[in-house]
Amino acid sequence: MEYRTLENIDSICIYEAFTQAFSDYQVSVDMSFKSFETMLKRNGFMPAVSVGAFVDKTLVAFILNGVREWDNEKTVYDLGTGVIPDFRRTGIMGELLNLVSAICIKNKIRVYQLEVIQDNEKALTLYKKQGFQVDRVLNCYQLTGGIKEPGIYKAWKLEHPEKIQEAQWTIVKDFWTYPPSWQNAKDAVCAIARSFSYTIVKFDGNLIGYGIVDKIKGDIVQLAVHPQYRRMGVATEILLDLSKQTKSLEMKVINVDERDQALNIFLKKMKFRVFVKQYEMRKYFSV
């Protein structure tokens, strides 16, 4: 068994291992190679801090990591961890996590962040053993079927820009009760901006709400309304508009902070259901 970074490893090789590792995962992970490459770009994938276990040059386990500034700290994010079935329960993942920790310390990276499904007890036990601590609870929602027309008088105007402008990002950050998770954050959206459709709402020329949806998959990555304009139908209008901008018949809202009572209550009111709950976990290094 050889453990090393994924520098100079062809992305097709990584994709094949990824597909095998997630073939029996509790949440369906079925994506094309093109979608896989988009996921890597979205999450800031960096081969130099990503690691794999090789047997006769075949990748049998991996930790795919991205690197970005997060909470004003250079942070490594685990965007995908897996072991192909024949090599599970062999201690490989512990060795790979140790290697990532060594890379972080060497490069003076203080924070390592990941998400894990709450019901995945084996992974959760391993991460806690490795020194990860739960930072927050994230709810993942799903909606199958249409959204009812709000049926109210609209005093605001909906627009559909090609992307969110930098000045607009500065404004909408004040709409957040809690910041988006890594894969839904501004950097992730901007990395693959053309994959999304955007709805912004203006009243008297001022931006009061917005939403972002994946054009193909129907994933709503951000949805927020200025506190002053909540409970007036703005969010419902945005949600309805987003549903018309995706090819998917199913919509999801991944990683909603459980502490965000307003958003969680709104999604449940709109008939979204929680299909999985995750922990966002962090490990800190002394560097």
**Structure confidence at residue 197 as a pLDDT band (50, 70, 90):** very high
Fold classification of 2-109 (topology level)? Aminopeptidase (3.40.630)
Averaged pLDDT score across all residues of the chain: 93
Determine the average pLDDT of the residues in 205-217: 96
Confidence check: pLDDT of 89 > 90: no
Strand order from edge to edge, sheet including 206-214: 157-159, 196-203, 206-214, 220-225
**CA-atom Rg of the chain in angstroms:** 20
Instruction: Calculate the dihedral angle through the C-alpha atoms of 52, 53, 57, 59, rounding to the nearest 10 degrees.
Output: -60
User: Within 10 A of 77 (CB to CB), how many other CB atoms are there?
Assistant: 25
pLDDT of amino acid 26? 57
Under CATH, which architecture does the 141-279 domain have?
3-Layer(aba) Sandwich (3.40)
Determine the average pLDDT of the residues in 104-110: 95
Least confident of 6-10, 68-72, 143-147, 168-172: 143-147
Dist CA 112 CA 282 (whole Å): 6
**Structure confidence at residue 169 as a pLDDT band (50, 70, 90):** very high
Confidence check: pLDDT of 170 > 90: yes
Give, rounded to a whole angstrom, the gap between the first and last alpha carbons of the chain: 29
Dist CA 59 CA 140 (whole Å): 30
pLDDT of amino acid 144? 82
Spans of all domains in the chain: 2-109, 141-279
What does residue 236 show for φ and ψ, rounded to 5 degrees?
Answer: -60, -40
Dist CA 279 CA 128 (whole Å): 12
Determine the average pLDDT of the residues in 3-30: 85
Give yes or no on whether 2-109 and 141-279 have one common fold.
yes
**Structure confidence at residue 205 as a pLDDT band (50, 70, 90):** very high
pLDDT digits (tens, 9 = 90+) for 93-104: 999 999 999 999
